[in-house]
A = this chain, B = another copy of it.
């Protein structure tokens, strides 16, 4: 299991542009430059977003020749979903699993 901080993952997912990037990557792996061609932002902006996404494990870089393509890691999304679901479930049972997360794990 990745078991990272979780909150940064949500922060990463809380940006429209990053979802655009994830969506574009859904059509196949792509480099920052390639993505800059499809999206209305500069390559450098995309590079920063990719760095953020990589930081939280949502995306993975793959060197292909002189370019760096990125691949989405769907498993990380599902893992995050599982944890979120667990928290929601615990809440309904009046338990406080969230406390641990809020207190920095």
Contact = CB atoms under 8 A, between A and B. Distances in A.
B74 A80 contact: no
A41 interface: no
Nearest to A100: B23
A22 to B, nearest CB: 6
A41 B4 CA distance: 26
Interface in A43-69: none
Interface residues of A, number: 42
Total identical chains: 2
A36 interface: no
Given A13-B7, A19-B102, A88 B77 contact: yes
A22 B98 contact: yes
A14 B23 contact: no
A26 interface: yes
Contacts of A22: 98, 102
B91 A85 contact: no
A26 B97 CA distance: 9
Contacts of A73: 91
